[in-house]
Amino acid sequence: MARHEGRVVFVRHALPGEVVLARPTGGTAASASFWRADAVEVLEPSPDRVTPPCPLARPGGCGGCDWQHASLAAQRRLKAAVVTEQLERLAGLSLGEGPGHDLPPVVVEALPADGAGGPSGGDTGLGWRTRVRFTVDGAGRPGFHPHRSHDVVPVEHCPIAHPQVDALGVGRARWRGTASVDVAAPAEGDPLVVAASAGARPPRPPRLAAPASVAVRAAEGWGDLTRVQGRTWVSERVLVDGVPRSFRVTGAGFWQVHPGASQALLDAVLEAAAPRPGERALDLYSGVGLFAAGLAARVGPDGAVVAVESDRRAAADARRSLHDLPQVRFAPGRVADVLPGLVAAGDGADVVVLDPPRSGAGRGVVEAVAALAPRVVVYVACDPAALARDLATAAGHGYRPTALRAFDAFPMTHHVECVAALSPPPGSA
């Protein structure tokens, strides 16, 4: 962020403290409260600046990786600063060392499997993205959008894509009659490729460079997938208290894109929640049942887990994956619609875990969670601002954060995943 004649200018491809030559992008009306610009020349570089590993990480190039020009250490410091600023400004929290602070300083943790596909191994920030959506242009070439644009930049090789994704050669094929192509590289079995139609007729996928399951779908919405070869779902795996468990994920349904993220988040959630045998737990926005499985293992057969999910495909996958856990009950529907009924039933909850979309849970959901009077709430968030707003709402009902962890689940981008634990005042729950 820079200032020009008193106006804020958000400068992409720059780093704090640098002196750059910036070119405005979009409108520069005198009445605008801020402008946007691209750094087209670096005059005085930051010591944190590195050469981007992808030639398309530049002004006018691919808009997916916004921080490739910063070292990994600098990226994590910047993410920690963003989380800290949002929590302090929007949630009114104080972060720092020693007494008098609500939380200790934020440290963004690298994930164990980070960089597994990088050219030199180790913590490279490359080769991690197991879910990739390509947009296809009018010539059938797949690629990605530039920043704040609907254009398509053709991409044959993506350095942050998992090696299984790159091995398919999706970016090097031509996808006639296709609007977009989703690729999922799972923990078990072949990758899955889903091509979305660009018109009334189903697309005809080209030959791929490596074995894969292939399906097609309508352009608008997900609807039902039509199998071309293989199967229409993938199998993912994590350890639940040391025991392997597989999860079915249909099509391009939600699963963490970093290969180490699901395990790290599950472990962090269980550590923060510390579910006890016989307790009642809620898993809100439960997806395919990752956290429900962990909660069920901890509360045991005498406990209960209620999983709430609105996406019918994800809910069906969860039923299949958790069929051996009778203590899990599924409540299909929007969390905002289902939760009031659970509150009215008066059963309460000992533990509530929620993993809402990027927009956050919202005031109504947070207030309903507080009305259940759980002894602990664990909030998984991919947007620090949404997390901070919901923490402020929770604080108004007596629930304050007692711990927070942040994970670098999206290297080379500004995105960060957080897990916050909230508790009521002692003796109130």
Catalytic residues: 382
Contact call for residues 110 and 144 (beta carbons, < 8 A)? no
Residue 349 to residue 365: CA distance in whole angstroms: 14
Find all residues with CB under 8 Å of 324, minimum gap 6, and list them. none
Which among 240, 251, 249 has a CA at the least distance from the CA of 275? 240
Per-residue CA distances from 390 to 7, 206, 228, 271 (Å)? 30, 46, 43, 21
Q: Helix-strand-coil percent breakdown of the chain, rounded to 5? A: 20, 30, 50
Residue 421 to residue 428: CA distance in whole angstroms: 16
Which among 255, 269, 259 has a CA at the least distance from the CA of 352? 269
Contact call for residues 412 and 74 (beta carbons, < 8 A)? no
What are the φ/ψ torsions at residue 77 (nearest 5 degrees)? -65, -40
CA 161 to chain centre: 15
Per-residue CA distances from 169 to 165, 183, 198, 212, 213 (Å)? 8, 11, 20, 11, 14
Q: Name the pairing type of β-strands 280-284 and 351-354.
A: parallel
307-310-312 Cα angle (round to 5): 100
Residue 288 to residue 296: CA distance in whole angstroms: 14
Longest CA–CA span in the chain (Å) reads: 66
Q: Which two tokens stand for residue 324?
A: 């051996």
Burial class (CB in 10 A: 0-12, 13-18, 19+), 215: buried
Burial class (CB in 10 A: 0-12, 13-18, 19+), 117: buried
